Amino acid sequence: MSDYERIRLVILGGQGVGKSCIINRFLFNKYCNKYRSTVEDLYNKEYDLGHMTLKVDLLDTAGDMQFPAMRRLYIATAHAFLLVYSVTSAPSFSSIKQCFEEIRENRTDYQDIPIVVAGNKLDLTASHKEITIEDVTEWVYCELPKLRVKILECSAKDDINIKEIFRNLLSLSKLIPKNDTTDVSTGLKRRSSAYVSATSKGKRRAESPLPEKEKPSGSGTGMSEGNHLAKPRSRSLIRRASRKTKQQIRDAQVDECNVS
């Protein structure tokens, strides 16, 4: 396995099921019961697994179908999916069925993609529950073909099974063992898409202080003995050398005139 690997986790589900609440509980150990519509929120996490560094992008998506082109792009570029429904809402369970159909239509390798199906709002089941774990199990294992999938119920409010969601995703991705004790909630950073783009450009500029045309070539005169990059000549030195060359040319022209 390589020393560095990056995967993208895409969270899908209907409106108001608690996708953002799950993310916020996992990242910041916070919960807010005020609903805010999400268009796109991108988070980044790094795991030091000893033998490799794993970078995980978590993409929190909109719960409606207003942006079909964006949804197709999310699905096409994902390495794993988290499908979230509310255990108190039968329509939300229908929504994740529709999400899965989108995955099946857009990904020929859908049977190999890690998927976790999570039923949120477990804290409300004492008074109201419309979808049981048996309902979800019957759909996944009886109606669908063989998948790399895990089913569980959770509560973002009471912090029930939140870490297990992401541990199972990494386990299904075969990036950590099933019984691994890595703390999956550490090292996370929130980044918007614009921030990621800007910082990546800044990093490239920091790593490459010279413009492309001024970078020394591996086979050109910019290499000294031992394949070490030669230090760039200062502009003042170049200007002095240029003035000296021009003076030599003028002196040579004067000498030629004197001889003739």
Task: Supply the mean pLDDT for the chain.
Answer: 76
| Percent of all residues in the chain with a pLDDT value above 90, rounded to a whole number | 42
Specify the pLDDT at position 97. 96
The Cα–Cα gap between 80 and 166 comes to 10
Q: 38 vs 246, which has greater pLDDT?
A: 38
Q: 258 vs 192, which has greater pLDDT?
A: 258
Specify the pLDDT at position 62. 81
Task: Look at residue 34 and tell me whether its pLDDT is greater than 50.
Answer: yes
Task: Look at residue 151 and tell me whether its pLDDT is greater than 80.
Answer: yes
Q: 137 vs 68, which has greater pLDDT?
A: 137
Specify the pLDDT at position 27. 86
The Cα–Cα gap between 27 and 167 comes to 13
- In tens, the pLDDT along 240-250 reads 555 655 565 55
- CA-to-CA separations, 178 to 6, 171, 255, in angstroms, rounded: 19, 5, 86
User: In sequence order, what are the beta bridge partners of 99?
Assistant: none
**Confidence band for 54, pLDDT divided at 50, 70 and 90:** confident
Task: Look at residue 179 and tell me whether its pLDDT is greater than 80.
Answer: no
Q: Which of 71, 58, 70 is nearest to 7 (CA)?
A: 58
What's the order of all strands across the beta sheet hosting 40-48?
Answer: 149-153, 115-120, 80-86, 4-13, 53-61, 40-48, 188-191
Task: Look at residue 161 and tell me whether its pLDDT is greater than 50.
Answer: yes
Best-predicted range by mean pLDDT among 120-129, 189-198, 234-243? 120-129
The Cα–Cα gap between 65 and 174 comes to 31
pTM for the whole thing?
0.68
Section 158-184 average pLDDT: 81
- In tens, the pLDDT along 98-148 reads 999 999 999 999 999 999 999 999 999 888 899 999 999 999 999 887 899
The Cα–Cα gap between 73 and 171 comes to 25
Give the position of tokens 């086979």.
Answer: 219
Give the position of tokens 């859908």.
Answer: 110
Q: 136 vs 6, which has greater pLDDT?
A: 136
DSSP reduced 3-state for 104: helix
Specify the pLDDT at position 64. 72
Specify the pLDDT at position 150. 96
Task: Look at residue 255 and tell me whether its pLDDT is greater than 80.
Answer: no
The Cα–Cα gap between 57 and 127 comes to 36
